[in-house]
Each structure stands twice: as C-alpha cells, then as structure tokens.
C-alpha cells in the first residue's frame, strides 16, 4: 500500500533537497506535486485541499526560511501533518460494564469481515482475553461455514444457527452463549451491506440496540478508493462507528482510503489487515504508517516482527552454533521459514529506512520462488543428510532433485551457497574478520 504515493513524494523531496534556499515559488511547485500525488493515491479532494493548505502555511514560514536544510524541514512538516491527518492510534474500549464486551463488525460485502473476526479473536487471545465468535451473516453463501472453519482452526469458541434465524436474534443468543462460556469478548460477524440499503441498515440498528456493543468497527477494503469516504460517512451517520479496520493493505493499492476515511469521519483507525495469514493483523500506529508513506521505513515494526519469530533462547543457541561452525542445513531451513513468516521481501524492504527504493529492482515472485525451491530441496533430504552434507554424493543429489522437482544443478547451487556460508562462519571463528565477534582486534596503526 502507498507504493505509488511514496515514490512520488520521495521524488518531490529529492528535488527540494537540491535547493539551497527555499522560496515561496519552490514551495508552491512542490505542493502542486504533493496535491497531484495524493489525488492519484485516491485521497478524497477535501482531505487533499486541507492537507496541502496546512503544509503550505507552515512551509513558507520563518522557521523553514532560516533553516540550513529547508528541504528536510519541509519533509518534517509533511510528516507532522500526515500524523495529524491519520489521527492518534486508539485501543479497543474493553472496560467497565458487564462481560462479555461486545464488538460488532460492519461493512460492505467482500471487505473481509469474517476473516477479520478470526484475526481479531486471535489477537485478543494473545492479549490474554478469551474471545468468542458469532456467525450472524445469514445472507452470504457459506459465510457461516467459513466462520465455523476459522474458529476451529484458531481454536476459539463460536455460536452459529445456520441461515434460517434472524441476525438480531442470533446476535442476542450468541452473546448469551458467550456469557455462559465465561468469554471476555464476543465478536459479532454481521452480513455485508451497502450503507444506502435502508432495510439492512435497520437490521444493524436493531443488533446495536439489543446487544449494546462496546465497539462498532467498520471493516473496509483499503483498495476501495474514492468511494471509501461515502461508505465511512454512511455507516458512521447511521450507527456511530467507533473505529476503522483497514484490510488488504498488502494489495496493489493506492492507499487513499486510510487518509480519507479517518479525516472525514474523525473516527480512529484501530487495526490493519497486513496479509491473508491469520497473524497478518496488527494495531494501527499512525507514526509508523506516516514514516512508511514518506519512505522512512518502520524499524520498530520490523523489530516486532523479528521478535515474534525469533525466540531469544533459540537465538543464543543459533549464535553458539554459528561460532562453533556447527550450523546445519536444518538450521538454515528453520531460519528461512522464520524469515518467510515475517512477510514478503518487498514488505521487509519497506520497513528498512532508505531501502524502499530497492523494491522495484527486485522481482518479488522470482525471489519467493527461489526461497520455496530452497525449502523444497532441503525438505527432500533426510535428517542425516541435513546434518552432514558431506554424505550428499551424486546419487543422493539426483534423488533429492527428483524428490523436489528441480534439476541436480539447483541442488548443487544450494549446497554451494551453504558451503560458502560455512566458510564465512569459519573465518569469523578463526578471527580473520575484524569487528565481528571473535575477530582480531583492529590495528593501532590503521587508526581505527
């Protein structure tokens, strides 16, 4: 998400960085480009006008004029105004009153409510709160089956009555069932509907009145575009939504919905759906998103992803293996799987400051294909072979190639890369790589 906008903004700021002294004409020219970049990203026109006005007023002020690096000062202003537009991050209101707390999910059909319900349940459980899911979408074929399947997959209790009963009645009985199970939070998965469909909106009104939800969250597809504003306004005026969940932000999206919906409704974005996987769901951090829009990366987010995959005790064991040159193909496979779970290569590059520009130089599909090929090759080896690659003679390599559906040369390439890695580890252990653990101390003569 925001790739086109990020690229355009970086080009604009690069131009400002080459200007020694910033004039009002320079600011006007840059703001015209920013305006076009935001409109092309599907940000609503009223939001764009207000944003550009605020930035321009500050950019032609005395602080920028006196700055030694006016281009950087403008970037700082744009960053601060992006934060203003995105609003503050907000937590779920799950306090006070009688349990279970009720979260009602609403939105258009196809926005991803049922999958979001499961992702939210998983996140709540990780946070120590026992969730419960209610299948109240009786209109979409197989919606109930989908929720039941997901609930079983993530091992969360649920309530379903098929498609015959009325959704408001299902929700009320679902809350009662959650209470009987001592659940802390119940998530109501309602059917998708247009905000202009009076009859179906009346149904949501009835569910709200009878279940008294703590949160009414609008689940919106980040690729909705300009229509996002009308959708958000319609649901907010009718129901009084308390938060937004943006799904599919990893898609080929221009991202304007994130800026438009928050700015127009004043309702906070609370969560982002970052991938199709069940753990591809995270609380919204406006500062991190603003930094990524401006190509500044998201180091904290990257660290959190790494911490979720790499256990500290495991990391120390791995470090010991590396330094003792006992790193095996099985270890290599384990690390590869962890990295793949962190996200796509382009997603990870976007989170490293200054690296987002490299994503266009990388063929994402080819990179993913190569990683899957390596995984398949190692999977075709016996555990004995993974721990001792010296056993891999010509006949074994031929068997592995056949088992993983590749050529023998592909197996040879993996083993060659692994051998080079072991050689590097050996050099580190032998102290021939200064500055690394176990390396020789720097020479005094060099002045380092």
pLDDT tens digits, one per residue of 99-121: 899 999 999 888 889 999 999 99
CATH code of the domain in which 81 resides: 1.20.120.140
> Is the domain of 415 the same as that of 380?
yes
Please state, for a pLDDT cut of 90, what percent of the chain lies above it.
30
- Residue 373, pLDDT > 80, answer yes
* Among candidate residues 294, 317, 346, the one where a domain is terminated: 294
Residue 299 predicted with pLDDT over 60? no
> Could you tell me if residue 279 is inside a domain?
yes
Which burial class, exposed, middle or buried, applies to 427 when counting CB atoms under 10 A from its CB (0-12, 13-18, 19+)?
middle
Residue whose token pair is 């998400």: 1
Same domain, 371 and 261: no
Confidence band for 318, pLDDT divided at 50, 70 and 90: low
Q: What are phi and psi of 244, to 5 degrees?
A: -120, 145
Q: Is the pLDDT of residue 170 over 80?
A: yes
d(CA 36, CA 157) in angstroms, rounded, equals 48
Identify whether 437 is part of a domain: no
Instruction: Kindly indicate the confidence band of residue 146, based on its pLDDT and cuts at 50, 70 and 90.
Output: very high
Q: DSSP code of 310?
A: S
Residue 244 lies in a domain: yes
**Per-residue confidence (pLDDT) for residue 433, from 0 to 100:** 38
CB under 8 Å to 63, separation ≥6 — which residues?
73
In a domain, 174, yes or no: yes
Long-range contacts made by residues 122-125, C-beta under 8 angstroms, separation at least 24? 122/154, 122/156, 122/278, 122/279, 122/281, 123/271, 123/281, 123/282, 124/184, 124/185, 125/154, 125/156
Q: 223 and 283, same structural domain?
A: yes
pLDDT band at 443 (very low <50, low <70, confident <90, very high): very low
CA dist., res. 162 & res. 147, Å (int): 11
Give the model's pLDDT for residue 439.
39
Lowest average pLDDT, out of 124-133, 149-158, 372-381, goes to: 372-381
Same domain for 328 and 286 = no
Q: Is residue 416 located within the same domain as residue 309?
A: yes
- The highest-confidence range among 89-98, 306-315, 406-415, by mean pLDDT, is 406-415
Stretch 89-107: mean pLDDT, rounded?
88
The domain boundary, picked from 273, 294, 315, lies at: 294
What pLDDT does residue 351 have? 54
Listed ranges 36-45, 59-68, 88-97, 376-385; the one with the highest mean pLDDT: 376-385
pLDDT tens for residues 201-225? 999 999 999 999 999 999 988 777 6
Domain total of the chain: 3
Position 444 in a domain: no
pLDDT the model gives residue 246: 87
Residue 92, domain member (yes or no): no
Q: What is the mean pLDDT of the chain?
A: 79
| Domain around 114 | 101-294
What does each C-alpha distance from 410 to 64, 269, 294, 385, 397 come to in angstroms?
56, 46, 39, 16, 10
Which range of 18-27, 267-276, 335-344 scores highest in mean pLDDT? It is 267-276
pLDDT-derived band at 61 (thresholds 50, 70, 90) equals low
Whether residue 251 is predicted with pLDDT greater than 50 in this model: the reply is yes
Residues 6+ apart with CB under 8 A from 16: 22, 26, 30, 70, 71, 74, 75
Share of the chain above pLDDT 70, in %: 73
Same domain, 55 and 108: no
Question: What is the model's pLDDT at position 334?
Answer: 79
Same domain, 310 and 358: yes
Whether the predicted pLDDT of 448 surpasses 50: no
Q: Which pLDDT score, from 0 to 100, does residue 350 have?
A: 57
Question: Mean per-residue pLDDT for 117-134?
Answer: 94
Pair 128, 184 in one domain: yes
Residue 82 is predicted with a pLDDT of 84
Structural domain contains residue 336: yes
- Given 254, 270, 294, which residue is the final one in a domain? 294
Residue 299 vs residue 239, higher pLDDT: 239
pLDDT bin (cut points 50, 70, 90) of residue 446 is very low
- Residue 171: CATH number of its domain: 3.40.50.300
In this prediction, residues 161-185 reach a mean pLDDT of: 94
222 lies in the same domain as 111 = yes
226/281 same-domain check: yes
| 122 and 36 within one domain | no
Same domain, 309 and 276: no
- Which CATH number does the domain housing residue 363 bear? 1.10.260.30
The answer to whether residue 96 sits within a structural domain is no
């Amino acid at each position: 998400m925001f790739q086109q906008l990020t690229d355009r903004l970086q080009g604009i700021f690069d131009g400002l960085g080459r200007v020694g002294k910033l004039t009002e004409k320079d600011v006007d020219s840059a703001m015209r480009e920013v305006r076009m970049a935001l409109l092309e990203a599907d940000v609503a026109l009223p939001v764009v006008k207000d944003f550009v006005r605020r930035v321009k007023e500050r950019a032609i002020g005395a602080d920028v004029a006196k700055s030694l690096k006016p281009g950087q000062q403008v970037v700082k202003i744009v960053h601060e105004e992006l934060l203003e537009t995105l609003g503050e991050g907000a937590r779920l209101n799950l306090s006070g009153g009688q349990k279970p707390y009720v979260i009602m999910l609403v939105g258009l059909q196809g926005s991803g409510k049922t999958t979001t319900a499961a992702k939210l349940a998983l996140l709540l459980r990780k946070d120590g709160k026992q969730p419960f899911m209610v299948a109240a979408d009786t209109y979409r074929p197989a919606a109930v089956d989908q929720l039941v399947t997901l609930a079983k997959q993530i091992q969360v209790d649920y309530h379903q009555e098929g498609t015959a009963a009325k959704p408001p009645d299902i929700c009320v009985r679902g809350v009662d069932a959650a209470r009987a199970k001592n659940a802390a939070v119940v998530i109501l998965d309602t059917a998708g509907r247009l905000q202009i469909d009076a009859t179906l909106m009346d149904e949501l009104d009835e569910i709200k009145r009878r279940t008294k939800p703590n949160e009414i969250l609008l689940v919106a597809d980040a690729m909705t575009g300009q229509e996002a504003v009308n959708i958000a306004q319609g649901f907010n005026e009718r129901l009084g939504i308390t938060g937004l969940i943006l799904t599919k932000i990893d898609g080929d999206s221009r991202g304007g919905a994130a800026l438009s919906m928050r700015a127009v409704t004043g309702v906070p974005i609370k969560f982002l759906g970052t991938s199709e996987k069940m753990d591809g769901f995270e609380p919204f951090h406006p500062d991190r998103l603003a930094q990524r829009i401006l190509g500044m990366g998201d180091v904290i987010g990257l660290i959190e992803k790494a911490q979720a995959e790499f256990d500290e005790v495991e990391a120390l064991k791995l470090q010991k293996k590396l330094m003792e040159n006992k790193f095996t193909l099985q270890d290599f496979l384990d690390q590869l799987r962890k990295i793949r779970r962190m996200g796509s290569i382009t997603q990870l590059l976007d989170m490293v400051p200054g690296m987002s520009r490299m994503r266009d130089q990388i063929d994402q599909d080819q990179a993913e294909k190569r990683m899957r090929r390596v995984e398949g090759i190692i999977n075709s080896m016996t555990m004995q072979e993974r721990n001792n690659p010296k056993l891999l003679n010509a006949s074994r390599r031929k068997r592995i190639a056949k088992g993983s559906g590749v050529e023998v040369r592909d197996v040879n390439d993996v083993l060659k890369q692994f051998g080079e890695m072991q050689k590097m580890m050996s050099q580190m252990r032998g102290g021939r790589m200064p500055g690394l653990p176990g390396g020789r101390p720097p020479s005094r003569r060099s002045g380092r």
